Chain A
Amino acid sequence: MIGEINSNLDIAMLVVFALVSLAILTALYRVFKGPTLGDRVVAVDLLGVLAVGFMALYSLVTGESVYLDAAIALALIAFLGTVAFARYYEIDNRRRKARNPGPGASP
Protein backbone atom coordinates (compact mmCIF):
# COMPACT_ATOMS: atom_id res chain seq x y z
CA MET A 1 0.00 0.00 0.00
CA ILE A 2 1.20 3.45 -0.52
CA GLY A 3 1.94 5.58 2.53
CA GLU A 4 0.15 8.69 3.81
CA ILE A 5 0.05 12.00 1.98
CA ASN A 6 2.59 14.70 2.87
CA SER A 7 4.02 16.96 0.13
CA ASN A 8 1.95 18.78 -2.50
CA LEU A 9 3.61 16.45 -5.08
CA ASP A 10 1.49 13.75 -3.58
CA ILE A 11 -1.65 15.78 -3.91
CA ALA A 12 -0.89 16.31 -7.60
CA MET A 13 -0.38 12.59 -8.05
CA LEU A 14 -3.65 11.90 -6.34
CA VAL A 15 -5.43 14.24 -8.72
CA VAL A 16 -3.79 12.48 -11.67
CA PHE A 17 -4.85 9.10 -10.30
CA ALA A 18 -8.38 10.42 -9.84
CA LEU A 19 -8.50 11.59 -13.45
CA VAL A 20 -7.17 8.31 -14.77
CA SER A 21 -9.65 6.34 -12.68
CA LEU A 22 -12.46 8.53 -13.99
CA ALA A 23 -11.26 7.86 -17.53
CA ILE A 24 -11.21 4.13 -16.89
CA LEU A 25 -14.73 4.17 -15.47
CA THR A 26 -16.15 6.09 -18.41
CA ALA A 27 -14.48 3.70 -20.83
CA LEU A 28 -16.01 0.89 -18.81
CA TYR A 29 -19.43 2.44 -19.24
CA ARG A 30 -18.97 2.38 -23.02
CA VAL A 31 -18.03 -1.30 -22.88
CA PHE A 32 -21.38 -2.13 -21.37
CA LYS A 33 -23.50 0.34 -23.24
CA GLY A 34 -21.81 -0.05 -26.62
CA PRO A 35 -24.55 -1.08 -29.09
CA THR A 36 -22.22 -2.83 -31.52
CA LEU A 37 -19.34 -5.18 -30.85
CA GLY A 38 -16.99 -2.63 -32.41
CA ASP A 39 -17.76 -0.12 -29.69
CA ARG A 40 -16.98 -2.61 -27.01
CA VAL A 41 -13.70 -3.61 -28.62
CA VAL A 42 -12.64 0.02 -29.04
CA ALA A 43 -13.47 0.69 -25.38
CA VAL A 44 -11.43 -2.33 -24.26
CA ASP A 45 -8.53 -1.18 -26.40
CA LEU A 46 -8.71 2.21 -24.74
CA LEU A 47 -8.81 0.47 -21.35
CA GLY A 48 -5.61 -1.34 -22.31
CA VAL A 49 -3.90 1.92 -23.11
CA LEU A 50 -5.19 3.51 -19.90
CA ALA A 51 -3.85 0.51 -17.97
CA VAL A 52 -0.40 1.21 -19.41
CA GLY A 53 -0.76 4.79 -18.15
CA PHE A 54 -1.98 3.52 -14.79
CA MET A 55 1.08 1.32 -14.38
CA ALA A 56 3.42 4.10 -15.49
CA LEU A 57 1.85 6.27 -12.81
CA TYR A 58 2.44 3.54 -10.28
CA SER A 59 6.11 3.36 -11.11
CA LEU A 60 6.16 7.15 -10.76
CA VAL A 61 4.40 7.13 -7.42
CA THR A 62 6.31 4.26 -5.83
CA GLY A 63 9.63 5.09 -7.45
CA GLU A 64 9.98 1.41 -8.54
CA SER A 65 11.30 1.25 -12.09
CA VAL A 66 10.12 -2.37 -12.32
CA TYR A 67 6.51 -1.43 -13.05
CA LEU A 68 7.60 0.31 -16.18
CA ASP A 69 8.68 -3.01 -17.67
CA ALA A 70 5.20 -4.36 -17.08
CA ALA A 71 3.79 -1.20 -18.69
CA ILE A 72 5.92 -1.67 -21.81
CA ALA A 73 4.97 -5.33 -22.07
CA LEU A 74 1.31 -4.41 -21.89
CA ALA A 75 1.73 -1.62 -24.42
CA LEU A 76 3.18 -4.18 -26.83
CA ILE A 77 0.54 -6.83 -26.22
CA ALA A 78 -2.70 -4.98 -25.41
CA PHE A 79 -3.67 -4.29 -29.02
CA LEU A 80 -3.47 -8.00 -29.96
CA GLY A 81 -6.89 -8.59 -28.40
CA THR A 82 -8.34 -5.99 -30.70
CA VAL A 83 -6.72 -7.54 -33.75
CA ALA A 84 -8.04 -10.95 -32.82
CA PHE A 85 -11.56 -9.63 -32.38
CA ALA A 86 -11.38 -7.73 -35.63
CA ARG A 87 -10.37 -10.94 -37.38
CA TYR A 88 -13.25 -12.83 -35.85
CA TYR A 89 -15.60 -10.00 -36.72
CA GLU A 90 -14.53 -10.01 -40.33
CA ILE A 91 -14.66 -13.77 -40.84
CA ASP A 92 -18.01 -13.87 -39.07
CA ASN A 93 -19.36 -11.23 -41.45
CA ARG A 94 -17.86 -12.90 -44.50
CA ARG A 95 -19.60 -16.10 -43.44
CA ARG A 96 -22.88 -14.30 -42.64
CA LYS A 97 -22.78 -12.51 -45.95
CA ALA A 98 -22.06 -15.77 -47.70
CA ARG A 99 -25.06 -17.33 -45.95
CA ASN A 100 -27.65 -14.59 -46.38
CA PRO A 101 -26.58 -11.72 -48.62
CA GLY A 102 -29.13 -9.35 -46.98
CA PRO A 103 -27.71 -6.43 -44.96
CA GLY A 104 -26.50 -8.54 -42.04
CA ALA A 105 -26.74 -6.64 -38.74
CA SER A 106 -23.73 -7.30 -36.55
CA PRO A 107 -24.40 -8.55 -33.00
Chain B
Amino acid sequence: MTTSTGHPILDIIVVALALTGAFFMIVASVGVLRLPDLLLRMHAATKAGALGTGLVLVAVAVYFGEVGMTTRALAGVAFLILTAPVAAHVIGRASYASGVKLWKETRRDELAEYYSTHSPTLVPGSEVRQDPS
Protein backbone atom coordinates (compact mmCIF):
# COMPACT_ATOMS: atom_id res chain seq x y z
CA MET B 1 0.00 0.00 0.00
CA THR B 2 1.74 3.24 1.01
CA THR B 3 5.42 2.86 0.25
CA SER B 4 7.55 4.30 3.03
CA THR B 5 9.60 7.47 2.41
CA GLY B 6 12.82 5.69 3.12
CA HIS B 7 13.75 7.26 6.45
CA PRO B 8 11.59 6.45 9.45
CA ILE B 9 11.55 9.96 10.90
CA LEU B 10 9.77 11.33 7.80
CA ASP B 11 7.29 8.47 8.06
CA ILE B 12 6.51 9.45 11.59
CA ILE B 13 6.09 13.14 10.67
CA VAL B 14 3.79 12.24 7.79
CA VAL B 15 1.68 9.99 9.96
CA ALA B 16 1.60 12.57 12.75
CA LEU B 17 0.49 15.34 10.39
CA ALA B 18 -2.10 13.12 8.74
CA LEU B 19 -3.51 11.99 12.06
CA THR B 20 -3.78 15.51 13.48
CA GLY B 21 -5.31 16.63 10.18
CA ALA B 22 -7.88 13.88 10.43
CA PHE B 23 -8.46 14.74 14.06
CA PHE B 24 -9.26 18.34 13.21
CA MET B 25 -11.59 17.18 10.46
CA ILE B 26 -13.47 15.22 13.10
CA VAL B 27 -13.53 18.32 15.27
CA ALA B 28 -15.04 20.28 12.42
CA SER B 29 -17.75 17.71 11.76
CA VAL B 30 -18.63 17.30 15.40
CA GLY B 31 -18.66 21.09 15.70
CA VAL B 32 -21.13 21.32 12.86
CA LEU B 33 -23.14 18.56 14.44
CA ARG B 34 -23.42 19.69 18.01
CA LEU B 35 -23.25 23.48 17.99
CA PRO B 36 -26.70 25.03 18.53
CA ASP B 37 -27.08 27.63 15.86
CA LEU B 38 -25.93 28.27 12.34
CA LEU B 39 -23.30 30.94 12.90
CA LEU B 40 -21.51 28.84 15.52
CA ARG B 41 -21.53 25.82 13.25
CA MET B 42 -20.27 27.90 10.40
CA HIS B 43 -17.14 29.07 12.20
CA ALA B 44 -16.38 25.55 13.37
CA ALA B 45 -16.65 24.13 9.89
CA THR B 46 -14.50 26.83 8.33
CA LYS B 47 -11.64 26.94 10.80
CA ALA B 48 -11.31 23.30 11.80
CA GLY B 49 -12.07 22.03 8.29
CA ALA B 50 -9.49 24.22 6.61
CA LEU B 51 -6.88 23.39 9.28
CA GLY B 52 -7.55 19.63 9.06
CA THR B 53 -7.28 19.43 5.26
CA GLY B 54 -4.35 21.85 5.33
CA LEU B 55 -2.45 19.53 7.64
CA VAL B 56 -3.17 16.55 5.38
CA LEU B 57 -1.91 18.53 2.42
CA VAL B 58 1.26 19.39 4.32
CA ALA B 59 1.63 15.69 5.12
CA VAL B 60 1.42 14.96 1.40
CA ALA B 61 4.03 17.62 0.68
CA VAL B 62 6.37 16.11 3.26
CA TYR B 63 5.71 12.61 1.97
CA PHE B 64 6.59 13.39 -1.69
CA GLY B 65 9.32 15.83 -0.96
CA GLU B 66 10.06 17.00 -4.57
CA VAL B 67 9.63 20.65 -5.44
CA GLY B 68 6.71 20.18 -7.88
CA MET B 69 4.60 18.37 -5.34
CA THR B 70 5.36 20.67 -2.47
CA THR B 71 4.41 23.80 -4.42
CA ARG B 72 1.17 22.19 -5.48
CA ALA B 73 0.32 21.05 -1.99
CA LEU B 74 1.11 24.50 -0.58
CA ALA B 75 -0.97 26.09 -3.38
CA GLY B 76 -3.82 23.82 -2.26
CA VAL B 77 -3.42 24.99 1.31
CA ALA B 78 -3.32 28.61 0.13
CA PHE B 79 -6.53 28.17 -1.87
CA LEU B 80 -8.24 26.61 1.12
CA ILE B 81 -7.18 29.39 3.42
CA LEU B 82 -8.35 31.94 0.87
CA THR B 83 -11.75 30.48 0.08
CA ALA B 84 -12.95 29.12 3.42
CA PRO B 85 -13.48 32.46 5.18
CA VAL B 86 -15.18 34.04 2.19
CA ALA B 87 -17.60 31.14 1.90
CA ALA B 88 -18.34 31.44 5.60
CA HIS B 89 -18.83 35.22 5.38
CA VAL B 90 -21.16 34.94 2.45
CA ILE B 91 -23.39 32.25 3.88
CA GLY B 92 -23.36 33.80 7.33
CA ARG B 93 -24.46 37.16 5.98
CA ALA B 94 -27.22 35.63 3.90
CA SER B 95 -28.53 33.54 6.77
CA TYR B 96 -28.38 36.38 9.26
CA ALA B 97 -30.18 38.71 6.83
CA SER B 98 -32.91 36.14 6.36
CA GLY B 99 -33.45 36.14 10.07
CA VAL B 100 -32.04 32.85 11.22
CA LYS B 101 -32.81 32.53 14.92
CA LEU B 102 -29.70 32.83 17.08
CA TRP B 103 -28.84 30.62 20.06
CA LYS B 104 -30.96 31.60 23.03
CA GLU B 105 -27.88 32.31 25.21
CA THR B 106 -26.29 34.80 22.75
CA ARG B 107 -25.17 37.77 24.96
CA ARG B 108 -24.55 40.49 22.44
CA ASP B 109 -25.63 40.85 18.83
CA GLU B 110 -23.72 43.85 17.49
CA LEU B 111 -25.18 43.51 14.04
CA ALA B 112 -28.79 43.66 15.20
CA GLU B 113 -28.97 47.45 15.32
CA TYR B 114 -27.68 47.74 11.77
CA TYR B 115 -30.33 45.47 10.40
CA SER B 116 -33.38 46.61 12.28
CA THR B 117 -32.98 50.35 11.63
CA HIS B 118 -31.50 50.74 8.19
CA SER B 119 -32.78 48.23 5.75
CA PRO B 120 -33.80 44.61 5.58
CA THR B 121 -30.36 43.93 4.23
CA LEU B 122 -27.01 45.37 5.22
CA VAL B 123 -25.45 47.44 2.46
CA PRO B 124 -21.65 47.10 2.67
CA GLY B 125 -20.02 49.99 4.44
CA SER B 126 -23.46 51.45 5.11
CA GLU B 127 -22.10 52.51 8.49
CA VAL B 128 -19.77 54.72 6.51
CA ARG B 129 -22.11 56.95 4.47
CA GLN B 130 -20.94 56.18 0.92
CA ASP B 131 -23.24 55.60 -2.01
CA PRO B 132 -23.31 51.96 -3.10
CA SER B 133 -21.18 51.32 -6.21
Contact = CB atoms under 8 A, between A and B. Distances in A.
A60 B94 contact: no
Contacts of B87: 45, 79, 82-83
Interface size class of B (residues with CB under 8 A): 35 or more
Interface residues of A, number: 65
Interface string A60-91: 11010100110110011011001101110110
A76 B49 contact: no
A49 B91 contact: no
Given A7-B4, A30-B33, A42-B91, A56 B56 contact: yes
A69 B3 CA distance: 20
Given A19-B22, A53-B52, A82-B90, A93 B80 contact: no
Contacts of B18: 12-13, 16, 57, 60
B57 A71 contact: yes
Interface string A7-23: 10110110110011011
A9 B72 contact: no
A13 B2 contact: yes
A81 to B, nearest CB: 9
B93 interface: yes
Contacts of A68: 60, 69, 72-73, 76
Contact of B29 (A7, A46, A83, A87): A46
14 contacts: A13-B15, A20-B25, A22-B29, A23-B26, A30-B33, A43-B45, A50-B49, A60-B56, A65-B69, A65-B72, A69-B72, A78-B83, A104-B99, A106-B99
Interface of A: 2-7, 9-10, 12-13, 15-16, 19-20, 22-24, 26-27, 29-30, 36-39, 41-43, 45-46, 49-50, 52-53, 56-57, 59-61, 63, 65, 68-69, 71-72, 75-76, 78-79, 82-83, 85-87, 89-90, 92-94, 97, 101, 103-106
